[in-house]
Amino acid sequence: MPDITRRRALTAAAALAATAGAVTAVAPDALAVTRSSPDTPGTRGLPGASAATTTGREHTVPAAFDEVYRGRRIQGRPSSEGGHHHEHGGGYAVFVDGMQLHVMRNADGTWISVVSHYDPVATPHDAARAAVNELQGAALLPFPLN
């Protein structure tokens, strides 16, 4: 059996994610419990492996996530930074291919990003996916420009 390289695994997972949005949409909550750390090996790129432990209505900090979505790596994690620049990430940082994406939490717990600023979604993970959809492959410019 040939070894499957990490790159090939990611590519395969990305292709799966790109064609199987329904899989992520129906990922059971149970999957989201222990696989949320970006440092947990073996979960990257697997649809449904990312954390969605908050409903977006709770005022707790959402869990971290890390996946390849439509061929791009999206990550999110609680962050202690904020208030340094003109922007406010609400104690949570999101990255697309390693570049930080400006996100914001609304009072009702929903989220927006600078590339989808008038259309709230339930979680920062959803905001990251919406950003990938909007970018259509384009690279983000460095934060805090975006």
Partner 1 sequence: MTVRKNQATLTADEKRRFVAAVLELKHSGRYDDFVRTHNEFIMSDTDNGERTGHRSPSFLPWHRKFLLDFERALQSVDASVALPYWDWSTDRTVRASLWAPDFLGGTGRSFDGRVTDGPFAASTGDWPITVRVDGRTFLRRSLGRYARALPTRAEVDSVLAMTAYDMAPYNSASDGFRNHLEGWRGVNLHNRVHVWVGGHMATGVSPNDPVFWLHHAYVDKLWAQWQRRHPRSGYVPTGGTPDVVDLDETMKPWNDVRPADLLDHTGFYTFDT
Residues contributing to the site for partner 1 (CB under 8 A): 86-88, 90, 102, 104-108, 114-120, 134-136, 138-141, 144-146
Nearest-angstrom CA–CA distance, 144 and 110:
21
Q: 37 or 110: whose CB is closer to partner 1? A: 110
Nearest-angstrom CA–CA distance, 90 and 124:
11
Phi-psi group of 16: left, alpha or beta (phi > 0 → left; psi -120 to 50 → alpha; rest → beta): alpha
**Torsion angle of alpha carbons 59, 145, 140, 32, nearest 10°?**
-10
Q: 65 or 111: whose CB is closer to partner 1? A: 111
Q: Least distance from C-beta 124 to partner 1, angstroms? A: 15
Q: Least distance from C-beta 125 to partner 1, angstroms? A: 19
Nearest-angstrom CA–CA distance, 19 and 129:
14
Q: 22 or 138: whose CB is closer to partner 1? A: 138
Q: Least distance from C-beta 118 to partner 1, angstroms? A: 4
Q: 32 or 140: whose CB is closer to partner 1? A: 140
